[in-house]
A and B are shown apart, each in its own frame.
Chain A
Amino acid sequence: TQLLEQSPQFLSIQEGENLTVYCNSSSVFSSLQWYRQEPGEGPVLLVTVVTGGEVKKLKRLTFQFGDARKDSSLHITAAQPGDTGLYLCAGGWSGNTPLVFGKGTRLSVIA
């Protein structure tokens, strides 16, 4: 059973375009993390969202947590080639419970 579904699976866009990727679940999470992973490296934490409806901005990246804390989106404005990578969402519950990861969205930004 796929707890976290990410879409699209692959996305290829031109530099300067905007994009949104999605992370959806039927489960309610206490928090949701977005990570970025380069080939052969570990996931790097970008942001944590914890409150339903919360919006966080990280430069050109805008993260939103759904009101019901079941889904999230990542919007990138004016994408750059340096944004290329695998974007992973991971849901967690309170305490030290393990994270549940989605399969990721592989983004390619072409100059």
Chain B
Amino acid sequence: EPEVTQTPSHQVTQMGQEVILRCVPISNHLYFYWYRQILGQKVEFLVSFYNNEISEKSEIFDDQFSVERPDGSNFTLKIRSTKLEDSAMYFCASKRGTSGYNEQFFGPGTRLTVL
């Protein structure tokens, strides 16, 4: 069964460094998302992406964040200058199309630790 994959599984970085989190969505899916989950808290939306542009973003997704689909398979989240509070699990999700309901499939996540 097709699934969303993410790399790396764990990323440790120093405050102020740039990180790129990578995702390969399910191949016939058209909508892509990034969410994050700070330890012990709920899953929060960051950004959605469709047709090579951002569809929607939350107030968490400030100028330090960017997303890109550099080729036909990868979807990346870049954090330009990491802060301690960026430490969290980051989940990529994808959705097939504009069906009437919003069924999103999640990857296993990247645990980002900012020291």
Write the residues of chain A forming the contact surface with B, with a CB cutoff of 8 angstroms: 30-31, 33, 35, 40-45, 48, 50, 88, 90, 92-104
Let me know if A94 and B31 touch, CB within 8 A: no
In the complex, number of A-B residue pairs with CB atoms less than 8 Å apart = 78
User: Which chain A residues border B31 with CB–CB below 8 Å?
Assistant: 96
- Contacts A42-B106, A43-B43, A103-B41 known; 18 new A-B pairs at CB < 8 A: A30-B100, A31-B102, A40-B109, A41-B108, A42-B6, A42-B109, A43-B91, A88-B42, A90-B43, A93-B102, A95-B98, A96-B31, A96-B48, A96-B55, A96-B102, A98-B35, A99-B104, A102-B42
> How many chain B residues have a CB neighbour from A under 8 Å?
30
Contacting residues, chain A, for B89 (C-beta < 8 A)? 40
Task: Name 14 A/B residue pairs within 8 A (Cβ), A-sorted.
Answer: A30-B100, A33-B102, A35-B106, A40-B89, A40-B109, A42-B6, A42-B107, A43-B91, A94-B101, A99-B43, A99-B45, A99-B102, A102-B42, A104-B42
Residues on B facing A (Cβ under 8 Å): 4, 6, 31, 33, 35, 41-45, 48, 50, 55-56, 58, 89, 91, 95, 98, 100-109, 111
